[in-house]
Amino acid sequence: MTPDDVDEVISAEIPDLADRDLYETVTTSMLHGPCGPNFPNASCWDAEKQVCKQGYWPLKPWCPTTTMIPNSYPQYRCRNNGRTFTKRFGGQELTFDNRSVVPHSPFLSCRYNCHINVETCSGINAIKYIFKYVYKGRDRVSIEITSQQERQAVDEIEIHLDARWVSPYEAMWRISRFSLHQEVPNIYRLQVHLPDQETIVFRGDDLIQDIIANRKDTMLTSYFKLNAHQNQEVRNLARSMVYQEIPSKFSWNKKVHVWNLRRQAAAASPHTKGAIGRMYFVGINQGEKFYLRLLLTTVKGATSFEALRTYNGVVHPTFQACCIARGLLEHDGEWAQCLEEASVIKTGYQLRKLFVVILTFGNPTDPLKLWDDYKVHICDDLRHRIVQEGWDIPDLTDEKVYDYGLYLLEKMVIEAGSTMEKVKLPKSVGRWAEYEGQGRIFLEQIQLRQAIPEGEPETLVGQLNIQQLDAFNKVYTSAVESHGQTFFLDGPAGTGKTFLYKTLCSKLRSEGHYVICVASSGIASLLLPGGRTSHSRFSIPLKIHETSTCSISKQSHLAQLIRQTKLIVWDEVPMQHRFCAEAFNRTCQDICSKPDQLFGGITVVFGGNFRQILPVIPHGEPEQIIAACLKRSPLWPQMHKLRLTENMRLQGDPEAAEFANFLLQVGEGVSIQEGHDGPVEFNPNMHVSSRAELIDRVYPNLSTAGQQFSDEFLQERTILAGRNDDVLLLNNKILDKFPGEKKGLLQCRQGQHRNWCR
């Protein structure tokens, strides 16, 4: 939990008077006191120690930000912002400030308009204190039973008895020996097992010969013998029932492991019920055992496992085949129809997932035939995938594509908890695991390398100016020779930082090296070849602190790429909290097993402009924002500083160059006098007196009849505004100036309308 998390929920300050309801609730219900030496009768006052028991005297110190204290309450934000409240008490006027406010939740205070103290509990000790009754166990008492005459001095250690507390009602029920629970009728759990696969219990020192010789019948094997009983009456009764109906007329003798006819069963009517039999559950993915159970629910009078597999005089090789012959199973036509319909609308990946579900849960009778019939659809995306991955596979035939499909199916079958042997499909024979081991992240680097036109690196290097070339040589040498230096490239907008990044990437990648490009924002990352945001590429935590690390496994493909990377480019880093760079530094040191080298010995180039936006700290003071900058990081003194000053973007445009120099002076504080806090004066040519003048200067001659506006004319012009209502107003005024008749276009939407919530 961070201070920002606490500030979102809890406040210990007098609210703004603009929020009238909250202000009245806090000032009437959430102010502590008065207490102190002048109020000795206050309930919270400790006269001996001369302190407030609740900690409000001596007065709490001012605290500009919330501070977390381990295993204790936080020191809540209590700013000296001048907010006070005066009320009459005991005939005198008393003034309260933020130091007397009880911590509260603004939401709860507004909702219930009463005193509700809300505190933050963080740390394992606080949690255990709150939930101590969860850990203490059931109620216990210490008791001693003595007569009045025997009462002597109490020795608590000697007479202590740990006892369970029993209420009078429960005690009376147990003393009367009333039943605590009852099951009617009795339920038999019937065993189901394949031939010679029953459970056998034996002692560890028993001989294997004795174990086999003393093996006893199970409920199932005894049921087979019951159907072949010598007594015709018993035999006929048993053969009239399926396995799970046997307990209704027979009881199980656990000592001799036989089914005995119930005494009342012979004389009872057919509707008389005894016990209930229930076979143990067997899932369809257990194969033959499932089909054995299915036969036991329908076949009567079986005298052996072989008799169960016999139908119409034919002994079938498996229980599944016998179920099919008896019509107890539907054939694979249902699964074939399912795959046929799915192949029309589903992708290859979705078909593979569906096929695995059918194999593991549907248990088809002939999985290999289903595979042969639909492997074209199941693998229809794999040829393109192999080509896109860039795998070097000579003579990519259909059989190799289908073999890759079997490899992918095997992975999914294993994830589902089964094997290819169980689902009756062959395994792949290709070395697909080696190809996949390269990883998509390496493929991206290979594709970036292949996309570099021949001769581009030399062309880009030849276009560098003196400062850019000097920076290029230093970074390139460090990367190629593995010096592991860290650089910071500083330069205002337009000095060619991005061009230098592209040149470095093109040169190193063309030589077969790996380069990772990231930026602080998505827009900035689009300007880099193969760029991504730093949070996305390096898995930087969103809630970051000074000891954070990136979520990168040391065995992952990304970790392998980082270890093999020659250069990392990180643009617009001044906009990010310094903890991001520090977290990545710790991660690289761990991944590369080089804790003493900056970024694990990888050459890193940070870039940006400290004259622009600094890290955003919600509700942060200026000193907090500065403390979050990279310049306040312990990494900063170890970086080699590179500087670009020549603006390449504005060459040949003196007016724009003059404005750029003005902005640069403002950013560096050159044009502002020391101690000057007033507004910066603009050149008169840089401002207009009205919106109409602004529109006419940016979009001249809009209302001229017959004026044709080219795409370039509109693309080169834009007006930035800080508020949406200003944008809407300017847009409307500009549209009104365009010649011609205004037309409105209607949108046609299909389907139901959405109910939007405001």
Which of 105-114, 242-251, 525-534, 612-621 has the lowest average pLDDT?
Answer: 612-621
Query: Could you tell me the CA-to-CA distances from 313 to 35, 306, 310 in Å, in that order?
Result: 100, 11, 6
- With respect to residue 91, please indicate whether it lies within any of the assigned structural domains: yes
Alpha-carbon distance of 319 to 301, in angstroms, equals: 16
Residue 753: predicted pLDDT: 40
Q: Is it the case that residue 270 has pLDDT exceeding 50?
A: no
Q: Are residues 252 and 390 in the same domain?
A: no
- In this prediction, residue 511 has a pLDDT band, given cuts at 50, 70 and 90, of very high
Residue 335: predicted pLDDT: 84
What is the average per-residue pLDDT within 577-589? 95
Residue 181: predicted pLDDT: 63
Share of the chain above pLDDT 90, in %: 46
- With respect to residue 455, please indicate whether it lies within any of the assigned structural domains: yes
**Is-cis flag, bond preceding 615, omega within 30?**
no
Q: Is it the case that residue 236 has pLDDT exceeding 50?
A: yes
- With respect to residue 752, please indicate whether it lies within any of the assigned structural domains: no
What is the average per-residue pLDDT within 480-509? 92
Q: Are residues 193 and 273 in the same domain?
A: yes
Compare 497 and 154 and report the one with higher pLDDT. Answer: 497
Q: Are residues 316 and 196 in the same domain?
A: yes
Say if CB 533 and CB 517 are below 8 A apart: no
Q: What pLDDT, in 10s, does the model give residues 293-334?
A: 999 999 999 999 999 999 999 999 999 889 888 888 766 777
**Residue 712 structure tokens:** 């370039």
Q: What pLDDT, in 10s, does the model give residues 457-492?
A: 999 999 999 999 999 999 999 999 999 999 999 988
Q: Is it the case that residue 10 has pLDDT exceeding 90?
A: yes
**End-of-domain residue from the set 437, 454, 479:** 437
DSSP string, 350-403: HHHHHHHHIIIII--S-HHHHHHHHHHHHTTTHHHHHHHHT---SS--HHHHHH
Residue 688: predicted pLDDT: 83
- With respect to residue 749, please indicate whether it lies within any of the assigned structural domains: no
Q: Are residues 22 and 127 in the same domain?
A: yes
Q: Are residues 418 and 462 in the same domain?
A: no
- With respect to residue 207, please indicate whether it lies within any of the assigned structural domains: no
Element containing residue 408 per DSSP (H, E): helix 398-415
**Residue 586 structure tokens:** 């710790």
Q: Is it the case that residue 14 has pLDDT exceeding 70?
A: yes
Q: Is it the case that residue 269 has pLDDT exceeding 60?
A: no
Q: Is it the case that residue 271 has pLDDT exceeding 50?
A: no
Residue 362: predicted pLDDT: 80
Alpha-carbon distance of 105 to 18, in angstroms, equals: 17
Alpha carbon 487 to its chain's center: 34
DSSP string, 637-673: GGSEEEE----STTTT-HHHHHHHHHHHHHHHTSSS-
- In this prediction, residue 153 has a pLDDT band, given cuts at 50, 70 and 90, of low
Say if CB 348 and CB 377 are below 8 A apart: yes
Residue 133: predicted pLDDT: 46
Tally of domains within the chain? 5
**End-of-domain residue from the set 300, 326, 352:** 326
What is the average per-residue pLDDT within 720-745? 84
| Closest alpha carbon to 538 in 495, 613, 590 | 590
Q: Are residues 484 and 619 in the same domain?
A: yes
Q: Diameter of the chain by CA atoms?
A: 122
Say if CB 160 and CB 248 are below 8 A apart: no
As a residue count, the chain comes to 758
The residue type of 682 is F
Query: Could you tell me the CA-to-CA distances from 268 to 262, 264, 271, 453, 752 in Å, in that order?
Result: 10, 6, 8, 95, 66
DSSP string, 474-539: HHHHHHHTT---EEEEE--TTSSHHHHHHHHHHHHHHTT-EEEEEESSHHHHHTSTT-EEHHHHHT
What is the average per-residue pLDDT within 280-305? 89
- In this prediction, residue 15 has a pLDDT band, given cuts at 50, 70 and 90, of very high
Map 25-50 to HEC letters: HHHHHCECCCCCCCCCCCCCEECCCC
Residue 752: predicted pLDDT: 42
Q: Is it the case that residue 591 has pLDDT exceeding 90?
A: yes
Compare 124 and 314 and report the one with higher pLDDT. Answer: 314
Q: Which domain holds residue 710?
A: 688-737
Q: Is it the case that residue 598 has pLDDT exceeding 60?
A: yes
Q: Is it the case that residue 136 has pLDDT exceeding 60?
A: no
**End-of-domain residue from the set 95, 115, 132:** 132
- With respect to residue 746, please indicate whether it lies within any of the assigned structural domains: no
Residue 9: predicted pLDDT: 94
Q: Is it the case that residue 713 has pLDDT exceeding 60?
A: yes
Average pLDDT over the chain reads 84
Q: Are residues 305 and 337 in the same domain?
A: no
Q: What pLDDT, in 10s, does the model give residues 649-704?
A: 666 666 666 676 777 677 666 655 555 666 777 777 777 888 888 888 888 877 76
Contacts with 156 (C-beta within 8 Å, 6 or more apart), sequence order = 142
Q: Are residues 319 and 340 in the same domain?
A: no
Residue 599: predicted pLDDT: 95
Q: What pLDDT, in 10s, does the model give residues 189-220?
A: 999 999 988 888 888 888 888 888 888 889 99
CATH number at residue 518: 3.40.50.300
Residue 268: predicted pLDDT: 47
Alpha-carbon distance of 34 to 308, in angstroms, equals: 90
Q: Are residues 28 and 83 in the same domain?
A: yes
Q: What pLDDT, in 10s, does the model give residues 36-70?
A: 998 999 999 998 999 999 999 999 999 999 998 87
- With respect to residue 428, please indicate whether it lies within any of the assigned structural domains: yes
Q: Are residues 419 and 358 in the same domain?
A: yes
Say if CB 236 and CB 251 are below 8 A apart: no
Q: Are residues 419 and 455 in the same domain?
A: no
> What is the C-alpha end-to-end distance of the chain, expressed in Å?
31
- With respect to residue 174, please indicate whether it lies within any of the assigned structural domains: no
Q: Are residues 22 and 91 in the same domain?
A: yes
Say if CB 485 and CB 603 are below 8 A apart: yes
